[in-house]
Structure 1
Amino acid sequence: MKPIKNTLVCAMLALAFGIPAQAAGDMAGASKRARPTIREVPAGLPEATDPRATDRKPGELTGQVVYQVLLAEVALQRGKNEFASQAYADLAVRTRDPAVIARAIEVASYARRFEVVQELARLWIQVEPESKRAQQVLVGVMIMSNQLEGLAPELIRLLDADKASLPANLLGLNRMFARTPDRQAVLQLVSKVCTPYFGLAEAHYAVAVAASSAGENERALGEVRKALELRPDWETAALLEAQILASKSSAAAIASLQGFVERYPKAREVQLHLARALVGEKRYAEAKRQFELLLQAYPNNPDVVYPVALLALQENDQALAEAQLKHLVTLEIPDKSAPYFYLGQLADENKRPQEALDYYRQVGAGEHYLPAQLRSAGILAKQGKLDEARAELRAAAERSPKQRVQFTIAEAALLRDAKQTEAALDLLEQALLAEPGQPDLLYESALLAEKLGRLEVMESRLRKLIEIQPEGAQAYNALGYSYADRKLRLPEAQQLIEKALQLAPNDPFILDSMGWVLYRQGDLDSALAHLQRAYALRRDPEIAAHLGEVLWMLGRKNEAQAILREAQKKDPAHEVLGEAVKKFSP
C-alpha cells in the first residue's frame, strides 16, 4: 500500500490527533478485507450497552480501565498492534471517554484498522457533538478511503464550526480531494457542500475549480464568473477564468486578462500573467509594454525583472537585457544560475571573454551548468589554452558525474576543432571501454572515425546504434549520408535516409541528406525540393552549399551564387561552404 503524503488531510490528522503521517497516509489505501470491528469485544468483557459501561464518569480511573490500558500499551510496545487496537477500541466503547477514544484512534491507525478509526470517530461525535477534532478525524478518514457519499453533511458541519475561516476553508476544499480519481464525484460533493454558501465568492470559485478538474468547462466558467460578480476585483478568480478560456482559445484568455487589467490597473498578478501569455503568443510588442508598466511599479520584484530580461533577449535588446540581468543578481532569489548564464552569453557575444568566464563560473548545478561549462571551455580553447579548457571539462565532470559523457564528448570536440582528430577519437574509445553501449559515444565516435577515413569503424558503430535505438533517426541519417557523400551504395543510402525521414519528417539535416542522395542519383528536381525545404527550416552553411550546387546544375547560376555568398557572409570559415563558393564562382 502506498501512503498518501503531504495532503491537507494527512497533516490535519497528524497535527490534531497525533496520528503518524505514515499511518495517516496509509488510510487512503487501507485494505477492505474483513477485520474485527469495535463491537467484536473480547470474551468476558461487558458490551457497550452493559450498565457497567456507564457506571463511571469520563476521566475516572478504575482497576479494570487501568489494567486494560496497561495491557494495550504493553501489547503495542511488543508490536502486537492488532491486539492493542482491539483492547483500546473496546475500552473506548466501554468508557465513552474522549481521551480514551482519541488514544484508541491513534492506536487503530498504527494497526491500519481504518474502518475502526471511522467507527471510533463517530462514537466520539456522539460523546462530544461539538468536537471539531472528532469531526476532522471522521472527515479525513472518509476522504482517504474515498467514501464521498454521505460526506457533505460532515464537511458542512466542519465549515459551520469555524465561520471566521469559512472563505479560506472553502478555497482549500478542493485540495482535500487532490488524489481522488473520480473527479465527477468530487464535483458533485463540492457542489453540495458549497451550495449553502453561495453568497460567498469563494463558494462559487470552489465549484469552478472542481468543475474544471472534471472537464466541465462551461459550468466552471459560469461559476467563476459568478464569483467575479460577487468580488469584481478578485485576481485569483480572474486568473482561473483565463485558464478555463485558454483551454479553447488563447486569444479569448488574453482578452479576458486585458479587460481585467483595464478595470484594475494595479492587479499585478493578472498583469504579469497577461504579459507572459502575450509572449507565448509571440505578441512581443504588447508583452513588452505590459512588462514596462510592471517594471515601473515593481522595479525590484524578480518575477518582473527576470521576464523583462528574457523578453529583451528575445528581441535582441542586449542593453536592456544586460541591465536587468545585472539588477536581478543583486536581488534575493534562490538560484542565480540562469541570470549568470545569460550574462555570460551576452559578454561572450560582445567579445568580452574574461567577463564571460567570470559569469559562467558562477553558474551552479542545474539545467545551465553543462552549457556554461562547455562555453567556458570553448572560450579557453579559442584563447589557445586547450589544456586548461580540457582540465576544466574534466573537473566539471567530477562535480557532475551524471553528465560525464557529455563532458567527454565536449572534450573530444575541442580536440577535433584543434585538428587533433586522432586524439579525439582515442578519448571516445577510452570512454566506450567503460560504456560500450552508450548511444552518444557510439554516434560521436562514428563521426570522428569517418573523418579519419575509418569507414568500417564508422559503419559498425552506426549499425550497432541502430540496433540499440531502432527508433532513433540520427544513426540512419548519418550512415545514409556517408554513403551518399561518397557515392557508395546509393539505393541503400536512400533507404536509410527515408527511414530517418519517417522518424523525423521535419528535421532539416535529414531533409538535406535526402536532397543530397537524390542529387547523387540524378533526380535534380526532387533534390531541389528537399534542399529548399531544409534551408527554409535552418540556414545551415552545409545545406546552403548543397542547395547552391543543385541550383547551379539546374542552370540557375545566379540564384546559386546569391545563396552561397549570403551563407558565406555568416560563416566565412566553413570548409564545405568555402569549397562550394570556389567551385561555383563565375
Structure 2
Amino acid sequence: MKPITSTLLCVTLSLALGMPAQGADQAVPGKQQKATKQDKASKRTPKSALPQSLAPHPDATDSKELTGQIVYQVLLAEVALQRGRNEFASQAYADLAVRTRDPAVLERAIEVAGYARRFDRVLALARLWVQVEPDSKRAQQVLVGVRVLTNQLDGLAPQLITMLAADQPALPGNLLALNRMFARSPNRKAVLQLISTVGERFPDLPEAHYAIAVAASSAGEHERALAEARQALALRPDWQIGALLEAQLLTQKSPADGIASLQRFVDKNPQARDAQLHLARALVSEKRYAEAKRLFEQLLQAYPDNPDVVFPVAILALQENDTALAEAQLKHLITLDFPDKSAAYYYLGQVAEESQRADDALVYYQQVSPGDHYLPALIRGAAILAKQGKLDDARSQLNAAAARDPQLRVQLLIAEATLLREANQAATALALLEHELSEQADQPELLYESALLAERLGRLEVMEKRLRKLIALQPQSAQGYNALGYSYADRNMRLAEARELIETALKLAPNDPFILDSMGWVLFRQGELEGALTHLQRAYAQRPDAEIAAHMGEVLWMLGRTEEAQRTWREALERHPESVEIKETLKRFSP
C-alpha cells in the first residue's frame, strides 16, 4: 500500500479536480493529442490492445460480437473525451464497466466520471470495483477517497484504520495528513468524530494526538485541542511541530501564554530553529522588539545565510530605525538563493530614499516584480522623479505601467493625480480623474479622490455630491462619512451634521487615527475642548501625523497649555520639516 499522502490524498484531489490520478499516457479531456504512428495504428484497436483482464460477460452468446462492441464503445468514449463531451464519455464508460465488471475499465470509468463531475457515478463505480476486487488496495483507496470527497463520513473509520495500519512505515506521515483530506468537509464535528475514532487506535503515536488536536480546534473544541497537543508533546517532548501547535492554540486566547509556551520549549531545545523563528515573530507581533532582536541576533549567528532569518532581522531593524543594519541585511538577502526578492528590493529602495539617495532608490524600485510591492514601488519611483523636476517622465512611467496591467489603472491614475496636485496642478489632476469617471461613474476610489480635489479647488458642491454618492454606494465604509464630516467641521459649518457623520465613521472604524482626529476637531469646533484633546491624543499616539499634531497643539493652546502646544508643534516640525500645516499653525500662534 502506498502512503495516504501520496496515493489516497492524490486520489481525492484528482477526483475533485477532474485530473487523472495515475497513468500519464491516459487521454486528457479537451486536448487534441499529437498522433504518432502507433496511435494511428491503435485506431484499429485489436483485442490485445485492451486491458488484459477484459473479457466478455459469461452470459454473452457471441463473444466476438461483444468484444467488438467493447472496442467500439471504448473508442467512442475516448473520442468524446477529446472533444470535451465529458458526460457522454462518462456514461459510455459507466455502461461498459457495469456490463464487463472489469477492474481496468472500472478504474478508467471512475476517472472519466471525475472529469464529468459526476461524483454520484464515481461512488457507485467505486463500490462496484470493491465488490469485484475485494482485496484490491487501489479499489479501497479510491472508494475511501470518493467518500471523503462527497462528505460521506459515517462508517468510514474502519476502512481508514485498516489502510493506515497496513503501512506502518508511512503511518506517522499519513496521520499528519488526515486533516488535509477532510479540509473541504463543512461538518467539522463529524470530521472530529471520525479522526478521533481513527487516532484513538494509535494512542502511542504523537501524530495521532496531533491530528485529533487539529480537528478539535477546527470544530471549536479548544480545550480538547490543547489537551491532545500536550499529549503529543508528552509522548515526544522535543517535537517542534507539537510545540508550535500548542503555542498556536494558546495564542488564540492569550498571546502572552503562547509566547511563554514557546520560550519554555526553546529553553529546553536550543537547536529548535523553527520554534525559535516562530517565537521571534510572536515577540515582534506583540511589539516586544528588544526580546525579538536578541533572539534574531542569536539566530543570525547560527544561520547567517538563511533567508527566513535574514529577512526578519532586516525588517525588525527597519522598525527600530536601524537603517545601517537593515540595509546590510537586505543587501545580503538579495545575494541568497530564494525565489522572490521583490520585498528586499522594495525595502532597499525605501532605505535609500530616506537617506536622500534618490538615484539608488530608483534603481531598487525598478527591480521590484509584480506582486505585493509592485504598485507602491511604481508610485514611490514616480514620486522621486516628480521631485527631481521630471514630472512628465513620472507620468509616462505610470501610464506605461497602467497599459501593461489594466487592473492597476485606477490606482495609477490616482497616483498621477497626486503628483499633479503636489505640483500645484490640482485642476489638471481633477480633470484627469473626471475623464476616468466618465467611463466608471461608480468607481469608489475615483469618487473619493476627485471629491477631495474638488474641495481643494473650492468646488464644494461637487465635493459634497460625490461623497454622498460614495456613502450611498458603500454605506458600510467609513471613508465617505469621515471626509464629508471633516470638510464641514474644518469650515466650521453644519457642525451638528458633521459630528453625526464622523460618529458614524467612528462606529465603522473605531481605531482609525484620521477619524479620531476628525472627531477631535469637530468637538473642538463645538467648544468641547477636553473631549477634543482626548480624541486627538489617541489619534496622535497611533499616528504622529503633522495635521493631527497641528490640531492637538491648537487644542492645548486654547486650554492654556501653551508650552505643551509649542513643544508638540516643534517636535512635529522636526519629524515633518516640509509640513505646510505645522508651519502655518506656528505662524498663526507665534507671539
TM superposition shift of 1:352: 1.0
Q: Deviations over 1:60-87 (max 9, x none)?
A: x954652552364366356364354234
- In structure 2, C-alpha distance between the alignment counterparts of 1:528 and 1:81, rounded to whole Å: 72
Q: Which moved more, 1:338-347 or 1:305-314?
A: 305-314
- Does 2:138 correspond to 1:162? no
Structure 1 residues 481, 203: closer, same or farther in 2, change over 3 A?
Answer: closer
State the match for 1:34 in structure 2.
none
Q: Which moved more, 1:272-281 or 1:538-547?
A: 538-547
**8 Å Cα contact 1:8/1:176 also seen in 2:** no
TM superposition shift of 1:242: 1.8
**8 Å Cα contact 1:17/1:106 also seen in 2:** no
- Does 2:120 correspond to 1:120? no
Residues 506-545 of structure 1 correspond to what in structure 2 (within 5 A)?
Answer: 506-545=511-550
- Equivalent residue in structure 1 for 2:363, among 355, 358, 367: 358
**8 Å Cα contact 1:89/1:104 also seen in 2:** no
- Equivalent residue in structure 1 for 2:94, among 60, 85, 100: 85
Structure 1 residues 107, 472: closer, same or farther in 2, change over 3 A?
Answer: closer
Structure 1 residues 296, 547: closer, same or farther in 2, change over 3 A?
Answer: closer
- In structure 1, C-alpha distance between the alignment counterparts of 2:498 and 2:317, rounded to whole Å: 45
State the match for 2:327 in structure 1.
322
Residues 250-329 of structure 1 correspond to what in structure 2 (within 5 A)?
Answer: 250-329=255-334
Q: Which moved more, 1:516-525 or 1:161-170?
A: 516-525
Structure 1 residues 20, 204: closer, same or farther in 2, change over 3 A?
Answer: farther
- In structure 1, C-alpha distance between the alignment counterparts of 2:25 and 2:155, rounded to whole Å: 24
What letter matches 2:370 in structure 1? A
State the match for 1:443 in structure 2.
448
SS in structure 1 opposite 2:124?
helix
Structure 1 residues 105, 456: closer, same or farther in 2, change over 3 A?
Answer: closer
State the match for 1:339 in structure 2.
344
Residues 189-228 of structure 1 correspond to what in structure 2 (within 5 A)?
Answer: 189-228=194-233
TM superposition shift of 1:110: 6.5
- Equivalent residue in structure 1 for 2:11, among 1, 9, 25: 9
Aligned pairs, how many?
542
State the match for 2:143 in structure 1.
138
- Equivalent residue in structure 2 for 1:148, among 138, 141, 153: 153
**8 Å Cα contact 2:126/2:139 also seen in 1:** no
What letter matches 1:118 in structure 2? A
State the match for 1:45 in structure 2.
none
**8 Å Cα contact 2:103/2:129 also seen in 1:** no
Structure 1 residues 21, 114: closer, same or farther in 2, change over 3 A?
Answer: farther
SS in structure 2 opposite 1:364?
coil
State the match for 2:568 in structure 1.
563
What letter matches 1:90 in structure 2? R
**8 Å Cα contact 1:228/1:234 also seen in 2:** yes
Q: Which moved more, 1:444-453 or 1:320-329?
A: 444-453
Q: Which moved more, 1:73-82 or 1:359-368?
A: 73-82
Q: Give the gaps of 5 or more residues in structure 1.
A: 1-5, 24-51
Q: Which moved more, 1:432-441 or 1:61-70?
A: 61-70
Return the index of the structure with the highest Cα Rg: 1
**8 Å Cα contact 1:481/1:513 also seen in 2:** yes
SS in structure 1 opposite 2:346?
helix
Residues 483-498 of structure 1 correspond to what in structure 2 (within 5 A)?
Answer: 483-498=488-503
- Does 2:71 correspond to 1:66? no
- Does 2:251 correspond to 1:246? yes
- In structure 1, C-alpha distance between the alignment counterparts of 2:381 and 2:109, rounded to whole Å: 63
Q: Deviations over 1:333-379 (max 9, x none)?
A: 11111000000111111111111111011111112112111211221
TM superposition shift of 1:239: 1.6
TM-score (normalizing by structure 1): 0.83
Q: Give the gaps of 5 or more residues in structure 2.
A: 1-7, 30-55, 81-87
TM superposition shift of 1:584: 1.7
- In structure 1, C-alpha distance between the alignment counterparts of 2:275 and 2:530, rounded to whole Å: 53
- In structure 2, C-alpha distance between the alignment counterparts of 1:12 and 1:174, rounded to whole Å: 17
TM-score (normalizing by structure 2): 0.83
- Equivalent residue in structure 1 for 2:193, among 177, 180, 188: 188
SS in structure 1 opposite 2:493?
coil
- In structure 2, C-alpha distance between the alignment counterparts of 1:108 and 1:449, rounded to whole Å: 60
Structure 1 residues 53, 279: closer, same or farther in 2, change over 3 A?
Answer: same
TM superposition shift of 1:12: 6.9
- In structure 2, C-alpha distance between the alignment counterparts of 1:21 and 1:223, rounded to whole Å: 46
- In structure 1, C-alpha distance between the alignment counterparts of 2:499 and 2:458, rounded to whole Å: 21
SS in structure 1 opposite 2:184?
coil
Q: Which moved more, 1:508-517 or 1:276-285?
A: 508-517
Structure 1 residues 381, 211: closer, same or farther in 2, change over 3 A?
Answer: same
Q: Deviations over 1:449-493 (max 9, x none)?
A: 222222333233323323333333333333333333334344443
**8 Å Cα contact 1:481/1:497 also seen in 2:** yes
SS in structure 1 opposite 2:141?
helix
**8 Å Cα contact 2:96/2:105 also seen in 1:** no
SS in structure 1 opposite 2:438?
helix
- Does 2:507 correspond to 1:499? no
- In structure 2, C-alpha distance between the alignment counterparts of 1:521 and 1:145, rounded to whole Å: 63
**8 Å Cα contact 2:317/2:323 also seen in 1:** yes
